[in-house]
Each structure stands twice: as C-alpha cells, then as structure tokens.
Amino acid sequence: MKKITLFIAILTLALSSCKKDSTVNEFLFPVEKDIQLGQQLADKIASDPSTYPVLDSTQYSAAYQYLYALRDTILKSPDVLYKDKFKWNIKIIKDDSTLNAFAAPGGFIYVYTGLINYLDHENELIGVLGHEIAHADRRHSINQMKKNMGTQILISVALGNKSKIGQVLAGLQSLKFSRGDESEADEYSVRYLCGTTYEASGAAGFFEKIEAAGGARPPEFMSTHPSPDKRVEAIHKLDTDLNCAGDRTTGDYAQFKIDLGLN
C-alpha cells in the first residue's frame, strides 16, 4: 500500500508541472489505465443492480446480438484508434424513463432503454453509438474526468482503491464535454460510418428529433453545445464532403425494441 501511495504521489507531482493540463498525458495516464479504470467502474455497476438494472445478455440474447452487430460495424473503421485494445463492452440498462448513454474509459458503454425507445431507427442508434465510441477512443472521458476530479483519484481507483469509485462513477454519468470534444465525437461518428451501408449522418437524425420536439426533454448524454442546429449542419456537411453513400433502412430496429419489451 505504501508503494501505491508513493506511486500516486509521484504521478500527481509530475502532473502539476505539466504545461498541457487540459489533455491526457500518456506517461501519467497511459491507455492501459483507461482499461483498468473502466473495468473497476464496470464491476461497480454490475454489483449494484438496484441502481443500474443491467439487462442479462443471455435472457436478452437477440437484443444484445443486434446491438453488438452495430458495434462491430463501427469497429471496422480504420479511424478507431484502440479497436483492438479497448474492451468495447456494451450493456443495456433497463430504465425506460432515462434518456441517457455514457462511455466509460477503456470502451465500456452503457445505453438506457429510455434512449433506445426514444430513437426511431437504427441509423440514429448507430450514430449515437459512434459518438460514444469516439468519446472513449479519443480519450475525452478520461480527459474530462481528470479535469473534474484530478489524476490522483483516477489512478487510485484504477489501481483498485474502492473508496472513491462511487464518486468517479457519479462524475462519469454527469460529464459535460467541451465544445471541441462534442464536435470531434460528432465528426468521428460520421467517419466511422462513412463507407458502411448505414447513413453516416445518423447522429444528425437524433438532433433533428430533439429540435422537432422544440428542445423538450433534452438528452442527458450529449452537451447542448454546440447548438443542435449547428451540429446537424456540421454532420451533414461532413457526410457530403466525404461522399458517404450509405442509406440503409430496415425494420430490424422495431424488432429490437420488441425484444426489449419496449413500445
């Protein structure tokens, strides 16, 4: 324990002298720590079914098979930096009233049934998944958590200290990403899907739905900046600039909802 404490102290001291404190320092927090921290958070979620009622992958095998097929389509993109390193585990949380999804470091992704039910078709869902994968792959989650909580706490939890894990998990779910992070996640959602049979601008459909509702019931998992209309414009522009041609439309999403017991 003394060695771990000393290790954390040394890393924290080094961080204080880092000029670019707004970005992840590879020496202080290498990508291996993303995976360790993400696994600790995943274990915490799994141990608390009353707060996080994760649907069983065996009982809902058809739904998970569908969701993982969407994930695999995204991971085929050469633009996913850590596709062979991060876990890329996706879990569905049963809460029909919650419009939310979040990505833990290391590729642990959670989607609420409330969000799944809110979306109309799979192009929107795969666009949202691409956005969340980008947050993890571009290390936005770690960077923002570091800024909010400090590297010492994150490293401590990654190394197995459970006393702060609740704080870190709460912070993860309420992350507010910077304008630059949100724009980059939107961008890479398009890049991941360009060249597939799906509409690369699927995430724009989600924002268009938010706008059509007059901004009511705003999404919990995406920052409101840049504004939805600007994000829709930027997503469609990149789709056009990259000559993305996917236009897949299937009835699978309706069955996916049925498999989850949604309306």
Condensed to tens digits (0 to 9), the pLDDT of residues 72-130 reads 999 999 999 999 999 999 999 999 998 889 999 999 999 999 999 999 889 999 999 99
Q: How confident is the model at residue 219 (pLDDT cuts 50, 70, 90)?
A: low
In this predicted structure, what is the pLDDT of residue 223? 60
The pLDDT of residue 41? 92
Q: Is the model's pLDDT at 231 over the cut of 60?
A: yes
Q: Residue 13 — pLDDT band, cuts 50, 70, 90?
A: very low
Q: Which residues pair with 90 in a beta bridge?
A: 109
CB neighbours of residue 86 within 10 Å: 23
* Phi, psi at 165, each rounded to 5°: -65, -35
How far lies 184's CA from each of 125, 138, 197, 205, 223, in Å? 18, 9, 22, 17, 13
Q: Which pLDDT value is given to residue 123?
A: 92
pLDDT mean across residues, the chain: 85
* Cα angle, residue 96 at apex, residues 41 and 52 outer, rounded to 5°: 20
- Average pLDDT (209-218) is 64
Residue 60 has pLDDT above 90, yes or no: yes
For the chain, domain boundaries: 29-259
98's CB contacts (< 8 A; 6+ apart) are: 112, 113, 114, 115, 220
Mean pLDDT on 243-256 = 86
